[in-house]
């Protein structure tokens, strides 16, 4: 699964923050059907970076329908 990339613009401006993403999963295929920020990271650049990565994730079919993913961007990278 692709890791969220720390955007250059945010990193160069020392923008950090934490948030929570909610991912809806099609249980038949394991594909992500939607991803939204339940709690914003505090910056739209970081929110979009997280959402972009999580929308590409795939799960084992039949295992989950919704996933809550806490994420933190620090100057050392993205942690989830």
1-10 residue pLDDT tens: 889 999 999 9
pLDDT tens, position by position, 35-76: 999 999 999 999 999 999 999 999 999 999 999 999 999 988
User: Quick one: pLDDT at residue 79?
Assistant: 74
Domain parsing of the chain, residue ranges: 8-79
User: Quick one: pLDDT at residue 73?
Assistant: 95
SS3 string, 10-25, reads HHHCCCCEEEEEEEEE
pTM (2 d.p.): 0.90
| 24 in Cβ contact with 65 (< 8 Å) | yes
Q: How confident is the model at residue 15 (pLDDT cuts 50, 70, 90)?
A: very high
- Which of 3.40.50.300, 3.30.1150.10, 3.40.50.1110, 3.30.1330.60 would CATH assign to domain 8-79? 3.30.1150.10
Q: Give the residue among 3, 19, 21, 12 at the shortest CA–CA distance from 75.
A: 12
* Residue 36: DSSP 8-state: E
Sign of CA dihedral 74, 46, 31, 56: negative
């Amino acid at each position: 699964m692709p890791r969220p990339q720390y955007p250059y613009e945010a990193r160069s401006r020392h923008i950090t923050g934490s948030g929570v993403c909610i991912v809806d999963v099609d249980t038949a295929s394991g594909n992500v059907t939607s991803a939204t920020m339940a709690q914003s990271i505090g910056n739209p650049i970081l929110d979009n970076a997280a959402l972009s990565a999580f929308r590409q994730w795939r799960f084992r079919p039949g295992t989950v329908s919704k996933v809550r993913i806490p994420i933190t961007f620090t100057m050392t990278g993205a942690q989830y």
